Copies of this chain bind each other. A is one copy, B any other.
Amino acid sequence: MTRIAIDAMGGDHAPFEIIAGAVWAAAEYGVALELVGKQDRIEHCLEVIQQEGFLSDCGKAGRRRRVRVDVKSLDIKITHASEIIEMGEAPGQAIRKKKNSSIVLTVNSVATGSSDALVAAGSTGAAMASSLFGLGRIPGIDRPAIAVTLPTMKKPIVIIDAGANSNCTPQMLRQFAIMGMTFSKNVLGVEKPRVGVLNIGEEAGKGNELAQNTYNLLEEEKEKFNFMGNVEGRELFLNLCDVVVCDGFVGNVALKITEGTSSMLFRMIKSEFKSDFLGMIIGLLAKPFMKRIYEKINYEEFGGALLLGVKGITVISHGRSRAYAIKNAVRVAKEAVETGVNSKISESIDGQK
Q: Which residues of A are in contact with B by a Cβ distance under 8 Å?
A: 87-88, 90, 152-153, 163, 166-167, 198, 200, 203, 205, 207-209, 211, 232-238, 246-250, 252-265, 267-269, 271-273, 275, 279, 282-283, 285-286, 289-290, 292-293, 296-297
Contacts and interface: CB of A to CB of B under 8 A. Distances in A.
Contacts of A265: 261-262, 265, 293, 297
A260 B235 contact: yes
B269 A290 contact: yes
Given A237-B264, A282-B286, 4 more contacts: A166-B208, A279-B289, A282-B282, A286-B286
Instruction: Give 9 nearest A-B pairs by CB, closest first.
Output: A233-B256, A233-B257, A166-B208, A261-B261, A200-B252, A237-B264, A234-B260, A234-B256, A208-B249
A211 B252 CA distance: 13
Contact of A259 (B200, B203, B233): B233
A272 B289 contact: yes
A211 B262 contact: no
**A208, A248, A268 — most chain B CB neighbours (10 Å):** A268
A71 B123 CA distance: 62
A31 to B, nearest CB: 31
A313 to B, nearest CB: 23
Contact of A261 (B88, B258, B279, B292): B258
A207 B166 contact: yes
A275 B293 CA distance: 12
A209 B167 contact: yes
A267 B293 CA distance: 10
B252 A249 contact: no
Copies held by the complex: 2
9 contacts: A88-B203, A152-B264, A166-B207, A167-B208, A198-B253, A236-B257, A262-B262, A265-B297, A272-B289
Contacts of A283: 286, 289
A166 B234 contact: no
Contacts of A234: 256-257, 259-260, 263
A166 B88 contact: no
B233 A200 contact: no
Given A153-B268, A250-B253, A90 B205 contact: yes
Contacts of A247: 208
Nearest to A165: B208
Nearest to A236: B260
A200 B249 contact: yes
A256 B200 contact: yes
Contacts of A260: 233-238
A87 B202 CA distance: 10
Contact of A292 (B250, B256, B272, B296): B272
A203 to B, nearest CB: 5
A284 to B, nearest CB: 10
Contacts of A267: 153
Given A200-B166, A268-B296, A290-B269, A250 B250 contact: yes
Contact of A249 (B167, B207, B272): B207
